[in-house]
Amino acid sequence: MAEKLDTEALKTEVIAKLKTVYDPEIPVDIYELGLIYEIDVQESGDVKITMTLTSPNCPAAEEIPADIEKKVKSLEQVKELNINITFDPPWDKDMMSEEAQLELGFL
């Protein structure tokens, strides 16, 4: 029988990968920016990421999801990756971690 996938451990690995993805215009990773709304990891190895961008006409709208796909799919246990981009709720700077706000001078 196949060993059960540790979805929490895989989610931690996915988050680590997301912390290496940056909006080219902002020196803070997308996870700390608060652009990631949800990470759903299934026992099958399928991962669904619900995220937003800093604005609907973000110049990196194609670059960021492509970078996420490349990095998250590099994890051996990830079978399928679905990235869902939403603007509901719209992003604002209050969604950033304290670390990100400090880095960008908001605190």
Q: At 21, which CATH number?
A: 3.30.300.130
Question: Is residue 97 a part of any domain in this protein?
Answer: no
Instruction: Give residue 46's pLDDT.
Output: 97
User: Is residue 21 assigned to a domain?
Assistant: yes
Alpha carbon distance 62, 89 (integer Å): 20
State the residue range of the domain holding 25. Answer: 7-88
| Number of domains comprising the chain | 1
Q: Where are the beta strands (DSSP E) in the chain?
A: 36-41, 47-51, 81-85
53 located within any domain: yes
User: Could you tell me the pTM of the whole model?
Assistant: 0.92
Whether 46 is in a domain gets the answer yes
Please indicate, yes or no, if residue 54 is contained in any of the structural domains. Answer: yes
CA dihedral 69, 26, 96, 53 (to 10 degrees): -50
Could you list the pLDDT tens digit for every one of the 107 residues in the chain? 456 889 999 999 999 999 999 988 888 999 999 999 999 999 999 999 999 998 888 888 999 999 999 999 999 999 999 999 999 999 998 999 999 999 999 88
Residue 105 lies in a domain: no
Helix axes 7-18, 63-73, angle to 10 degrees: 140
In this prediction, residue 2 carries a pLDDT of 53
76 three-state secondary structure: coil
